[in-house]
Amino acid sequence: MSQDIEHAQTQQQQAVVADAPVFVQACPGAGKTHVIVSRHLQRPTGSLRGGRALVSFTRTARDQMKTRCITEGRPDLAQFPHYIGTLDGFIWQFLVSPHLQTPQSAQLLESWAQLPKAKVALGKGTIALSAFTFTFDPDTEREDVAAPRENSSAATAVSKSMYSWARWKQAVLECRDQWRERGYFTGHEARLEALRNVRTDPVGTVVPLRSRFTEVIVDEAQDCSITDLAILDELRINGIPLVVVADPDQAIYGWRQADPARLLSFRGTFGTRITLTGNRRSAPPICALAATLRTSNRRPDISVVRSSGPAVHLIPTKFGKAGKTTHSSTGQDLLDLVLGLADHHREPENPNPSVLVLARKHALLPPALRRGEPDSNTITRLARAHQCLQSSSTKVTELEQACLLAEQVLLGYWYPGQVGSVTRICRAVGLSPAVLRRHAYAFLQALPEPSREWAGEVNARLKGWRPPVGAAPSRGKGLLRGKVASVGQQQQRQSAARLTTVHQAKGDEADAVCVLLSDNELIDGWITGSATSAEAQEELRVLYVAVTRARRLLILAAPEYRIDAIRDFLVRNQVPTRVT
């Protein structure tokens, strides 16, 4: 065993045994979940505070931690008094829900899109509440509404109305407050409520946590918004032993108010700080390239499980319209070329290497894979949900969203007088959520292939679908209108690779990863070191997340006229490189 590997293992063990509070900075592939669960398995809990909270940002990480406890023969560590869940769930269950006083049972929504009837009305115009983004400054406790994203239908509606943006913001906040008073919260409102509770009543809010948990472990803390960090800091100040695990170089949610500078400031409040540099995912060439994307001068991470790997491949690429990408010289389809390279460099024991193709934006991907843009009409989103069900590369979270949309469509037709979320409507009409989910899955499965005139076929299926007892369709209410736009068809060869955006792939990994690198400013900022603005540095972190998804083979597809400059830069930084 090399000294580097021994050093990486020592770092992991230090993170497992260190007393809280402690800040653990972990590189990509460092085995954060392994460290967190090992800490949970090995460290005893206090005699008075018998539990430990393991908090993550995703359900996938939550499920992995629960499964590890069970497979290690300790299912009790996944049960009360312990807590294993998401940050949203932790905030809601311990910092918000016990302190609410609403006229009916409150509900936490993933987004306002779960309430199709939540619309902002101003004059003759209406815009879905989910089209607006709320911001909050925890220092001044001032809330604001961000303008709708450029070229969206919401931005168009606002610009064409007779009302000022200030008046629209007022209407948005009033609409949101009305739904909140009825007991509906998204993660944003829950965080505001939690921070207010911790600051105004720290004893009533924090003491129950101190009595139950010997420590609270927060994973992927680089994804925390400035409000999340303010909440965690208040918990720290009030005596909650925190273990915070993060990689500031993977902070890519600036649009969601994540702030690496605020995270680094928060890290400075911890007396014990441990860094994990052992990468258990990527081959050495990938680790070497990733180091060139960091704002710090930290040396490349140690590839713990791979002593070697193929060179980073550069593909001179022509980026055409509608996501069409081809090799600049031969005209070969990029995806065919990537699949061929992945097969050529596969390991003998892995005859079917996994392949991931990543882009910064949906616009660079083939239209068939642009699922669920927020401005799509319902019939288009249902068509994409149907295709999602048919695809072999669909993730569990995507399947859940597809079924949720089908549930909303069915409820809208069966119970046209009901308002609210799926859960609340089911409760009001006495319909089992499990029964509704079975209906939704079967309904999606039974739909024909999408077409431009698909709405009539869907409505015919709605009318002919056997409804549950008590359903009361009313004429044409709840039927779908409009035409399907930009759905396309999945080609058979695409089932061999997953194509998605970097943000959606965060947390994933694959044997071979191809990154579509068409942004000239990003390339310049990377190879010249001129990316100094906050926006430019976040773009580098997005690229960093993309390349570190690769286990064995990394491919960069860039415009032909930039290939030589990228190759020379990588060679200077001792990154094995090959132009294809």
pLDDT per position as a tens digit, 136-157: 999 999 999 998 877 788 888 8
- The pLDDT assigned to 368 comes to 42
Contact of 256 with 281, CB cutoff 8 Å: no
pLDDT at 246 over 70: yes
Give the single-character DSSP code of 260.
H
pLDDT greater at residue 497 or residue 120: 120
Half-sphere exposure of 559 (CA within 13 A, CB side): 11
For residue 104, what pLDDT is reported?
Answer: 62
Q: Is the pLDDT of residue 374 over 50?
A: no
Q: Which residue did the predictor score with more confidence, 33 or 316?
A: 316
Q: What tens digit of pLDDT does each residue of 436-478 get?
A: 888 888 888 888 888 777 888 888 888 888 888 888 887 778 8
Annotated binding-site residues read 26-33
The two tokens of residue 324 are 């069409």
Q: What is the pLDDT of residue 134?
A: 94
Report, as an integer, the average pLDDT of 161-177: 93
- Binding-site residue numbers for ATP are 26-33
> Does the pLDDT of residue 161 top 50, yes or no?
yes
**More confidently predicted of 232 and 534:** 232
User: Which residue did the predictor score with more confidence, 255 or 150?
Assistant: 150
The set of residues, in sequence order, having a beta carbon less than 8 Å from that of 160 and lying 6+ positions away, is none
Tens-place pLDDT, residues 279-328: 989 999 999 999 999 877 778 888 888 888 999 999 999 988 766 888 88
DSSP alpha helix (H) spans, 318-369 = 334-344
Residue 513: what are its φ and ψ, rounded to 5°?
-130, 130
Q: Give the whole-angstrom CA distance, residue 121 versus residue 131.
A: 13
Higher pLDDT: 133 or 506? It is: 133
**231 or 536: whose pLDDT is higher?**
231
Look at residue 375 and tell me whether its pLDDT is greater than 70. Answer: no
Q: What is the pLDDT of residue 176?
A: 96
Question: Distance between CA atoms of 97 and 101, rounded to whole angstroms?
Answer: 9
Select the highest-mean-pLDDT range: 201-205, 335-339, 466-470.
201-205
**Residue 354's CB: how many other CB atoms inside 10 A?**
18
The secondary element (H helix, E strand) that includes residue 135 is strand 133-137
Band (52; pLDDT cuts 50, 70, 90): very high
Percent of the chain with pLDDT over 90: 39
Q: Is the per-residue pLDDT at 9 higher than 90?
A: no
pLDDT for residue 371: 40
- pLDDT band per the 50, 70, 90 thresholds, residue 425: confident
pLDDT at 424 over 60: yes
- The chain-wide mean pLDDT, for the chain, equals 86
pLDDT at 400: 77
With a cut of 60, say whether residue 270 has pLDDT above it: yes
pLDDT at 275 over 60: yes
pLDDT at 578 over 90: yes
Per-residue model confidence (pLDDT) at position 133: 92
At residue 489, the pLDDT reads 41
Q: Can you give the pLDDT at residue 572?
A: 95
Q: What is the pTM of this model?
A: 0.76
The pLDDT tens digits for 495-517 are 467 888 888 888 788 999 999 99
C-alpha–C-alpha distance, residues 275 and 277, integer Å: 6
Q: Convert 68-103 into a string of H (helix), E (strand) and C (coil).
A: HHHHCCCHHHHCCCCEEEEHHHHHHHHHHHHHCCCC
Contacts of 340 (CB under 8 A, 6+ apart): none
Any idea which residue has 């109305």 for tokens?
161
pLDDT reading at 272 higher than 90: yes
- With b meaning 16 or more CB within 10 Å and e meaning fewer, what string describes 164-201? eeeebbebbbebbeebbebbbbbbbbbbbbbbebbeee
Judged against a pLDDT cut of 80, whether residue 158 lies above it is answered with yes
pLDDT (0 to 100) of residue 491? 39
